[in-house]
Every structure is written in structure tokens, then in C-alpha cells.
Amino acid sequence: MNFEILNIQFEDGILLATISREKALNALNKQTMLEIRYLFEAYAPDLEGLKGVILTGAGAKAFVAGADIKEFSSLDAATGSALSKNGQDIFFLIENFPKPVIAAVNGFALGAGCELAMACHMRIAGEKARFGQPEVNLGLIPGYGGTQRLTQLVGKAKSMELHLTGDMIGAEEAHRLRLVNHVVPQGEEVAKAKEIITKIGKKAPIAIAKAIECINAHFNEGKTAYQKEYQHFGALIETEDMKEGVAAFVEKRTANFKGI
């Protein structure tokens, strides 16, 4: 599959994917969603030396300003549910990706754009970033996991307020609510994301993947996630990376992890 909308750059183990529909404020249409699925289902997993993925939007105005509403006009209940389920499935690919995925939010992250950012493992916001789930203004609710992930991130009461009012919040409030990890000067979002992925890239790859899986399990599986944690902990004990990490600690040197 060729990328028509996603601009792909791969350098120093970091894959930067820029959603390039600037005139449409990078709204998610069918083709964009197809390419995001392909990126996380087939393309990125095969990249040798991949340390992590950064998602951002083209231009200075928007990360992703929402879904492409023009595509909604022909939907009925069945096709609407199918569209929502497809979007959820694609965003689960991001959430469960075994390498860190960071959203570099350079502007509006509204509706499906906010949902996309929340599916990533972390979010870096520029000072002018704006977040919101304004679907009630269209007589809708979020369909790509927004009601669940926003509640996980900011809590029930604030999630209720943001969903029911459709209000937008700025980067600083998003940071205060723990929706974003860092707020940086406008234009420095990707640089900060690269800094974080570079740091993570020096750690044991198998351990990183299992940490992501266990943290996600807290929300998806509840108390049974503790079982997943101790099972993965035991399995990691037998990896060469664990032996190398312990040896490096004892010998007071930098560990050389090989992902085995």
C-alpha cells in the first residue's frame, strides 16, 4: 500500500508520520484511516530498528480537527456502527503497539483528533494546542473510544463536563487535567517527542512492550491485570536483556540491550 496522505519519515529509529490534509485541518477521512491502519498493522512492525512512532499533523493550525463530517451524510444506524467499530479497531492498534507512540499535538485536536491523540501512549502539546470532544454539537457522541479514554485520563466528572458541553480546553488546562504529558513552545512538539523516544529506545525492548501491555490491561481487564503483570515479570526474568541489565547495574556500566 502506498501512503497518499501520511508523510512518512524514518530516521534514527524514529518513525514520524504526518497527517497531510492541511486544507481540511487534517480531518480523518476513509483514506487516512486506511493508511493509519496499514501503518500500525503492517508497515511499522516490519521496520528494523524501530524505537517508536510520532504522529502529528501538517501545518500550524491542527493536529487533527476531527473526522471528515462530509462522509457521514450517507450513513444509517448499521453503517454508522460499523464506521465506529472500524475506528475503534484502528485506534486499538495504536494503543497496543509494542513500541511507544507519541502524539505531537501542534494545534486543534478535536473529536476524532482528540480520540487519536488519546489512543497514543503519550501526548506532547504545543502552547496553542486545543482539545475537545464537541460531537454533541452534531447530535452525536465520540465513536472511536473517546468516551472511554477521556474518562480514564481525566476522571468521570471532568469527562462528563467536556463531553456534555462540547467545550474546548487549552494546552495548560489539558496538562493540569493530565490529558497531556508535556506542554512545549509551539513548534517544538516533535522535538520533545523524539527526545522521549530516544530515551526509551535505550531500554530493554521486550520490557517496554510488556510494560505497555500491562498498563493497558489495568483499564481493559481490571484486577486480573495483576495476574498479567506477574506472568510477564516472570517471563522477563529469563530474557538475555534482564541478565544484561543486572550485569550492567552491578558493573556500573551502560547496558547493551538486544531485545532477546
The CA radius of gyration of the chain, in Å to the nearest whole number, is 19
Active-site annotation holder among 11, 35, 127, 135: 135
The reply to whether 135 belongs to the active site is yes
Residue 15 is given by DSSP the state: E
CB atoms within 10 A of CB 48: 6
**In whole angstroms, what is the distance from residue 25 CA to residue 40 CA?**
22
C-alpha cell at 139: 447530535
**In whole angstroms, what is the distance from residue 59 CA to residue 61 CA?**
6
Residue 128 identity (one-letter amino acid): K
Active-site annotation holder among 11, 115, 213, 221: 115
**How many residues belong to the chain?**
260
Residue 184 contacts residue 127 (beta carbons within 8 Å): yes
C-alpha cell at 81: 456502527
The vertex-8 CA angle with 20 and 11, nearest 5°, equals 140
**210 pairs with which residues across the strands?**
none
Give catalytic residues, as residue numbers. Answer: 115, 135
